[in-house]
Amino acid sequence: MPRFHRKPHRKSILRRDAVRIGGEEVEERSIALSTELKKDPAKHREKADIVGRIVGVASAFWLVEEESVYGAPHSEPFAATHECIVGGVVTSDNPDDESLLAVGDWVELARVPDEPGKGVVVHVRQRTSRLFRQSPAERQVHVIAANVERAFFVHAVTQPYFSRRLLDRHLIAAEVGEVEPVIVFNKVDLGIPPDVEHAIAFYRDRLGIRTCLTSTVTGEGIEQVRSAMEGVTSVLVGASGVGKSALVNACFGINLQTVRTISRKYQRGRHTTTNARLFHLPGGGQLIDTPGLREFALARIEPEELAFYFHDFDPYYPDCKYLPCTHTHEPDCAVRAAVDRGDIESERYESYVLIFESLNEQEER
């Protein structure tokens, strides 16, 4: 599905002992890397005695479900977890400019002697896919969810107003992170404004993206969403108020408010948490629920390659006079000619220019 191959991941990067919770820095300690570890990273991994998946975060702990627990049939959305800290040295198979740990990661951990249910993360396994954004606070790539097959981008057709710009960013992030996108247009019971109707047809018919029209009030489209989530790990993304929690409740009868309460119980002191949480679906599969993200800055895309993610531009850019062409100011630009003729939607082109500018600004910083 993704057309461009990302840079290969470097192996076993030694990480400092930065305790980062969902991209937010909680505590940082410097560590002395033992010379022994530098010589032999495999030896370090021998300290681990459990493999598990990160399912959530609570205060300074990462919650990890042991592999056997994770893989067993689930009658409840949540299973027993180990409360893990990141201490000493952690090795990772992932690039060192992205979050060390994210919900959905497979990790190797060591039990803490005499403290049942406690663990220390020793190693983070290579992510097969990830949904990420540029962290607003730092120069780091914030991994929202790791090892997910599908991302459900929930947008309300109205209330709050539908933002094409945000959806365009979502779709690009999915492609860069090698995650299949599904767009959920929720709240259709409120009536679909004509411009949103038009946009739905564009994404579904022209771009060929899987699209669900839903209402948690009338039940329309709920079955479609439920079946698209079954059997895979998905992540649920959307701005606050679009109806993510209502959707999960309508699909699976799971009330996510209880999850928030569970997470809040652990919140102490100044530590803030991102409450992303993985839970098991009754029909098989996992869903990672994320808090409402209004900002979605893209990461790891050069401004010059942005146009390649706008697939409605595909038929045109080979005919641009200058290569590479940014399709912004160059003469004899086939993309801009297509916009003028109406063959490319002006909304999409505006979206392209705005994202192009923001990527340039990010580069300058």
Point out which residues bind ligand GTP (CB under 6 A). 186-187, 189-190, 215-217, 238, 240-246, 291-292
114 vs 56, 97, 117, 277, 301, CA distance in Å? 23, 35, 9, 27, 47
- Comparing CB distances to ligand GTP, the nearer of 107 and 256 is 256
Cβ 238 vs Cβ 246: under 8 Å:
no
335 binds, among ligand GTP, Zn ion, Mg ion, none (CB under 5 to 8 A by kind): Zn ion
216 binds, among Mg ion, Zn ion, ligand GTP, none (CB under 5 to 8 A by kind): ligand GTP
Hey, which bits of the chain come out as E strands? 13-15, 17-21, 24-29, 50-58, 61-66, 82-85, 90-92, 106-111, 118-124, 130-134, 141-146, 150-156, 180-186, 210-213, 233-237, 277-280, 286-289
Cβ 91 vs Cβ 56: under 8 Å:
no
Q: How far apart are CA 330 and CA 310, in angstroms?
A: 18
107 binds, among Zn ion, Mg ion, ligand GTP, none (CB under 5 to 8 A by kind): none
333 binds, among Zn ion, ligand GTP, Mg ion, none (CB under 5 to 8 A by kind): Zn ion
153 vs 170, 205, 222, 241, CA distance in Å? 7, 17, 15, 13
Among the residue ranges 98-106, 116-124, 239-247, 314-322, the one whose residues contact Mg ion (CB under 5 A) = 239-247
- Comparing CB distances to Zn ion, the nearer of 132 and 356 is 356
From the CB of 295, what's the least distance to ligand GTP, in Å?
A: 13
Of the candidate residues 44, 142, 327, 348, the single one contacting Zn ion (CB under 5 A): 327
- The C-alpha angle 49, 55, 61, rounded to 5 degrees, equals 70
327 binds, among ligand GTP, Mg ion, Zn ion, none (CB under 5 to 8 A by kind): Zn ion
285 binds, among Zn ion, ligand GTP, Mg ion, none (CB under 5 to 8 A by kind): none
335 part of the interface to Zn ion, by CB under 5 A: yes
From the CB of 313, what's the least distance to Zn ion, in Å?
A: 9
- Give the residue among 218, 202, 200 at the shortest CA–CA distance from 155: 200
Of the candidate residues 134, 245, 273, 290, the single one contacting Mg ion (CB under 5 A): 245
Residues at the site binding Mg ion, with contacts judged by CB under 5 A = 244-245
